[in-house]
Chains A and B, each alone.
Chain A
Amino acid sequence: MSPRKAYLSGISYYLPEKKLTNDELNRTFPEWSVHKIMEKVGISERSITAEDEFVSDIAVKAAQKLFEEQNISPEKIDYLLLCTQSPDYFLPTTACLVHKKLHLPVTAGALDFNQGCSGFIYGLSLAKGLIASGDVDNVLLITAETYSKFLHPGDKGNRSIFGDAAAATLITAQQSEGSAEIARITLGTDGSGAANLIVKNGGLRHPKTNDEELKEDENGNPYNDNYLFMNGSEIFNFTLGAVPPLIEQVLKKNHLEQQEIDLFILHQANRFMLEYLRKKIKIPPEKFYTWMESCGNTVSSTIPIALKHAKADGNIKKGDTLLLAGFGVGYSWGATVIKF
């Protein structure tokens, strides 16, 4: 008997109210013109959480929107998966706080998992496994990040890219109108890249320090180990090496040819990188969806946010086959095919 199938049945997301615009970035970094930020990075504004707004807060808002938009009762949820790298506390698990605020049933499971740009694909993989086990029917997957709190105010590169957001996705054992079957998934890991995208201090190995002395990354962006460090060149090289084979592997695993994919949605890192990857993988522009201009790179939420807009914009019709791929911090990567 083949395992039960899992369906992606709905997505909603929440963007914090405060925005960081290109005008504001230009005032801080005069050499970085509004036009240039838009042209290279492809982002016009990013949402930034308030000082007293944390992952559990934005996760709850995204899920409440999902319940409302999909007309689902919280009681139906059997399992909550929360993907975050900026949890409220070391313990308890932020998913427990979110579970409480959402009034999910006490019989529901809830856990956090720590992944970044590959996190949505990991979440689909976990949810699909849970549904295949037969133990649960409805999984709520929330991806939520507040990377803005990790960034140094003088870090031009990362402040231009990252935005805070939460996305809530419903994965069900039941097929419904507009749902998409989650087909075969490919994952990958290479911990040798850990130091290239890291918030080093603040865990147990390296507690946060009072040291305000700043270093510069190889491109002159200030940081110290209390803040997020990204070696953009190495991350780009990792992407160029890992993503084309990832696409090939997931196609092979699903017995598909590249031209059979109706739409590709890759992790929305930044415009330049995406466009270069698109050309390298030879995906025609009309089959390559991007949506990040008004929210930025929201880490694990970029794929669900773009997917929601692709559907709302009429880019997806019944019978379409999509390829989704996430890749980044870890290094960690994953891809799947979904069938509408």
Chain B
Amino acid sequence: MDKNEFLKAFADQFDETEPALITLDTKFKELEEWSSMVALMIIAMADENYNKKITGADLRESDTIGQLYERISSR
């Protein structure tokens, strides 16, 4: 599971947010476009691309995209 590929796939789930604003250090839940629907899309992306499960706790306890990546990549 490649960190930059994950970041790109994460950014792809957003329609209105500038891709440049989405980095591994981005606090994703603070993005204006973040919503429960985007959360579902991120979960589906990880399931489809990596066969990895992102839980509600993973989203709650990660502030940045990098932290979320670290939590799930080791599984």
Query: A36-B15, A157-B35 in contact; A233/B47 too (CB < 8 A)?
Result: no
Residues of B within 8 A of A280 (CB): 47
Tell me which of A196, A219, A240 contacts B36 (CB under 8 A).
Answer: A219
Tell me which of A31, A36, A218, A270 contacts B60 (CB under 8 A).
Answer: A218
Are A219 and B55 neighbours in the complex by a CB distance under 8 Å? no
Docked CA distance A196–B40 (Å): 15
Is A234 an interface residue, CB under 8 A from the partner? yes
Count A-B contacts at CB 8 Å.
Answer: 64
Instruction: Report the minimal beta-carbon distance from A46 to chain B, rounded to whole angstroms.
Output: 16
Q: How many of chain A's residues touch chain B, expressed as a range?
A: 20 to 34
Q: What are 7 of the A-B contact pairs (CB < 8 Å)? A: A156-B35, A156-B36, A218-B59, A220-B34, A233-B40, A234-B56, A240-B47
Task: Enumerate B32-74 residues with CB–CB distance to A below 8 Å.
Answer: 32-37, 39-41, 43-44, 47-48, 53-56, 59-60
Are B37 and A157 neighbours in the complex by a CB distance under 8 Å? yes
Are B29 and A220 neighbours in the complex by a CB distance under 8 Å? yes
Residues of A within 8 A of B56 (CB): 196, 218, 231-234, 237
Are A31 and B39 neighbours in the complex by a CB distance under 8 Å? no
Query: A156-B35, A218-B59, A220-B29 in contact; A236/B15 too (CB < 8 A)?
Result: no
Query: A31-B33, A36-B15, A218-B60 in contact; A232/B53 too (CB < 8 A)?
Result: no
Docked CA distance A234–B40 (Å): 9
Chain A 32-44, CB-CB to B under 8 Å as 1, else 0, gives 1000100011000
